[in-house]
Amino acid sequence: MKKTELDKGGPSHQTTDDRDQTMTTAQGGPIADGQNSLTAGPRGPVLLEDHILREKIFHFDHERIPERVVHARGYGVHGTFELTKAIPELSCADIFQREGEKTPVFTRFSTVAGSAGSPDLARDVRGFAVKFYTQEGNWDLVGNNIPVFFIQDAIKFPDLIHSVKPAPDRGFPQAQSAHDNFWDFISLTPEATHMTLWAMSDRAIPRSLRFMEGFGVHTFRLVNAEGKSHYVKFHWKPRQGLQSVVWNEALKINGMDPDFHRRDMWDSIDAGDYPQWDLGIQVFDDEFADSFDFDILDATKLIPEEDVPVQIIGTMTLNNNVENFFAETEQVAFCTQNIVRGIDFTNDPLLQGRNFSYLDTQTKRLGGPNFTHIPINAPKCPMRHFQQDGHMAMHNPKGRVNYEPNSWSEDAGPRENPDVGFNSYPENVAGEKQRTRSETFADHYSQARQFYISQTDTERDHIAAAYTFELSKVEREEIRLRMLSHLMNVHDDLASAVAKGLGITDMPKAATPAREPIDVAPSDALSILKNGPNSFAGRKLGIFICDGADADLISALESAFKEEGAMTEIIAPHIQGAKLSDGSVKPADEKIDGGPSVVYDAVAIVLSDDMAKSVAAMKPAKDFLSDAYAHAKFIGFTNAAQPLFDAAGLSGKSDEGLIELNNADAFVKSCRALRYWDRMKG
């Protein structure tokens, strides 16, 4: 029977002149027909000998690898790290020796609790992992966007993650901490109190991956060429400043665009607006460590920047989107154990456990010990060793010798080099074997209080509202009361606000602290709003237009915000756009019901008198304005927008965040504050 074009897969087949594009099997054999299985006759059974079918289905069956237990939903980007301040006096790491030198990096951002299919704007910690491809091997700085963690010892990590994951009997909730299991564990784990303050703050719902800090979390060591050691904590400071969304906004963004953070990062880099972070270090010695009020090995504690200033030593620029999400973002394997000469570990028990766990995890996920052969994981410097064989081995030693020491003079393979090889810092370690926690780890409330009192009133309100929302989803009253007893040790205002929000009138007794809290001075560095960028660069303005809208004003807004380094998008009642006052047609980027104001940092409403009433009758248009108002965004408008204000229930509203569009440059200047927070006090 003669095959039809449909049988053959349509006219997309290559001709004999296109041999360089010929489809092949994984073994390189050219394929004549990849659309039809080999059968015994046109309607007969499929034959077992169809190797093309078997290979295609075999690979499909195995193209998903086990997703990460934590940090499953991630997004990776390529870039470079440029050293701006050499620190040979602190570290002999090759990457820290030559100012101006650029090192390739791959950075993966992630949420922690949800699956790979969960939404981007879940309230959660964000992973911030950077792989440096240095000239002396890969260094993985595997951190978060929060500088502390829930627990002090890695042995508790499985319990923490089990508590926040979907319940094993019902399989939900997904990517949420607002449930009994999580808060039951947290309320029975006082050491987690500090971290929950951060997790209930705006840090857990960032506006963009580009607008959040990163932290190494743990205390590490820097070791110089003479073997002298200093303690260090690593910080990533975003050059575009810090910014978060509000909770109601996060819920709506998840519904509108669950890929919001991914799309934001892709579009920014695609447009040439490359995000940058400065790498900073807090360096201190044993004398400071001994004098500090808290144990530097305790991952639930931080060192205030007022006590140890952050020194900026370099800048990371992310400038290349991945070419294949699976090959790069999914297969990248970060391990805290991946350090280089000049950087070393400390005895932080959480870090020690991570060093053990990550290697085991990557072996499980990527099928065997040779995951370092995958291009995204492979060092960009030479690799020479005797490791060989194993699942999917790509590189193996040649010749007779595959062991050391050996006495062969030819093809003897690599040799150790004490002069440039890695040596652990010779810390004196001694003690009885025991399962215990150092008494220096026992203060669980002082830094939680410090974090709270360091926030602005707006941020404190958000923290209280977050606790109230989360605990209102907890069914067991004793869990709510137990958590409240911990908050009473943090701050009376916080505990009272949460109790009021939950309707609790009889306050529980405050939890008995393992060690009495101490008063710690506020630290402005802990607040997002105290560290605003005072710029609209990197942000996005949504311009809502209709037929007859002022063409000159729209053009002026686009020019002014482009000059600021911001992006603009046009929203209209129809995706075809609108016919402007000068007769030109302005294409729309989004239809009004597909471009809600929650995805923009500020909005401009440019309507015409003729269309104002019909626009005001549109429910999505009313939501566009009312949401922007409720979320404290700056709103520019023309006089013709009054019917829309009336329809949205905003008649007579007036504040400094509502700006009549007489001057585009003046509107840009106002938008640099990012939000008009005073509106939310009313």
Catalytic residue among 51, 59, 62, 71: 71
Query: How would you label 289-306 residue by residue, b for 16+ Cβ within 10 Å and e otherwise?
Result: beebebbbbbbbbbbbee
Task: Give me the residue label for tokens 């995951």.
Answer: 371
Three-state SS for 553? helix
Give the predicted TM-score (pTM) of the model.
0.92
Q: How far is CA 634 from CA 75, 252, 458, 657, in A?
A: 30, 18, 17, 5
Integer Cα distance of 669 and 674 in angstroms: 10
Q: What angle do CA 650, 652, 656 make, to 5 degrees?
A: 90
Task: Give me the residue label for tokens 């809502």.
Answer: 544
Per-run averaged pLDDT (10 residues), the chain, 682 residues: 38 48 83 86 84 80 85 97 98 97 98 97 98 95 98 93 95 96 97 98 98 98 97 98 98 97 98 97 97 97 98 98 97 94 94 88 88 92 84 81 82 81 87 86 98 98 98 98 98 98 97 96 97 96 98 98 98 97 97 97 97 97 98 98 97 95 96 96 72
- Is 71 catalytic? The answer is yes
Q: What is the pLDDT of residue 18?
A: 52
Three-state SS for 464? helix
DSSP 509: P
* Sequence-separated (6 or more) residues with CB below 8 Å from residue 175: 73, 111, 113, 114, 115, 118, 119, 122, 124
Q: What is the pLDDT of residue 410?
A: 66
Main-chain dihedrals φ then ψ at residue 341, nearest 5 degrees: -55, 130
Which domains does the chain possess?
A: 1-63 (4.10.91.20), 74-373 (2.40.180.10), 465-529 (no CATH), 534-681 (3.40.50.880)
Contacts of 64-69 with CB under 8 Å at 24 or more apart are: 65/330, 65/331, 65/365, 65/366, 65/367, 66/364, 66/365, 67/115, 67/116, 67/365, 68/116, 68/361, 68/365, 69/161, 69/361
Integer Cα distance of 253 and 260 in angstroms: 7
**For residues 127 and 109, is the Cβ–Cβ distance under 8 A?**
yes
DSSP 51: H
Catalytic residue among 138, 144, 254, 377: 144
Give the dihedral sign, CA 20/26/27/29: negative
* Sequence-separated (6 or more) residues with CB below 8 Å from residue 153: 349, 350, 353, 437
Main-chain dihedrals φ then ψ at residue 148, nearest 5 degrees: -125, 175
**For residues 412 and 401, is the Cβ–Cβ distance under 8 A?**
yes
Integer Cα distance of 257 and 262 in angstroms: 10
Q: Name 230's bridge partners.
A: 222
Query: How would you label 485-517 residue by residue, b for 16+ Cβ within 10 Å and e otherwise?
Result: bbbbbbbeebbbbbbeebebeeebebbebeeeb
Token code pair at residue 173: 């909730």
- Is 138 catalytic? The answer is no
